[in-house]
Structure 1
């Protein structure tokens, strides 16, 4: 029972410390935090409301797993039952499961683009640091892809914004078809999309990017078909990057491709489809 008591004490202290990042009684009462948790608490306090909701989901999940484990131990269940607290704990566990579902739903609503159901800009702010962490630990390599629908304004002006929205939805569907579970497709506004793509290098991702954008987004309309091409630029992601620095490079690459794409369309699609632009990052440490 000593080992179990030690485990309980450790987990209870850690979880209690995590929860204070949201409830803040330590701060309000000016109580000292254990030094080993002070840094974690400080980081959590600085999170934006959106990021706190993201972390809160993880804390709820962790709390549920620990309580479930405790209640699965026969010796612990018997000890709790003797004290008449077993029903209380089971009710708490049920409530935590309900809260998990509610937080998950709210998090999805907060981080999803309303029109396309892709991730939104808020989600990128959360997922980009996670991508940097994977890169730093050698788990995955990623590149950032910036995509923009060419001539969507013309489509909106001629056919109406409802048709323009349907084109955007079709573009989002293509991203979902082409991406893997570890990739992060997002719409950051208007006709602009970002893809955090798990790839070993820019060069090895080039065939995939060509396949992604070389065919137009097609939308049947009355007796015709409306077409729109995606301009595409990509850059590798360095461990020292910020979301803004990556967006800047990928945007520059996309804009160069967009110029070439418009010129290709103006010439009646003569010649090969212009390849997406790859812009390699230059490390400050080189």
Structure 2
């Protein structure tokens, strides 16, 4: 269901982009799309190094955390992916993330706080969640979504200036009315952002389900999510609270209620926990 939802949301983002192109003109559509995807293609190939540097992460050796490395290797083997590199982040907050453009270049990072505070059962749930992101190629999906949203944003900016200054048609005379273009320029980026956030939330649910299947223990991840939520309400966050990388974290450093949750990269923790506890551990163990 979440795979289908992701596909539908990507189609919705594409439709918004094509509508923006119809309002502005074919040449604008091509130019904005090429530019946006070129920018995000660079992010796709080099973002893992950048985000690890942004988090001040360092490689965590086997000697420092032998049990953690064993669990990462075991769960990666269960998921059929290469064992990723393991990093530690100097942050008291409880969080973790995965990065890497594909399973062959995967990396998982854990804060010092999460390594100190979680039991092995809980930490295995977190490990499996992050490895699910790697296996599902969520960095690639996020890059495509960001590219579509970025192209819509570029076209929207052009539409705003075009409506105000009286241009916006390409050489074939394509384009809509200035008032319609201005209205679309305001609405389209909001719609594209909502779609992008919806894709991110769907991938989080998928990673939770993948973790439950890999460990056969959905309760372990549910307990970890509850502990992370409680702890991060009282712990002053460090580098994991950077807005640029917040969407990568297993627990969002930023929370939103009501309509603001539509713009959140993460589903509500209560809903994630409810879904995990609705799974049958016995059937998961049989399937694994």
**Structure whose residues are more often strand by fraction:** 1
TM-score surpassing 0.5? Answer: no
Higher Rg of the two aligned structures:
1
Structure 2 length as normaliser, TM-score?
Answer: 0.28
**Structure whose residues are more often helix by fraction:** 2
Of structures 1 and 2, the one with the larger relative CO (CA 8 A, separation 6+) is 2
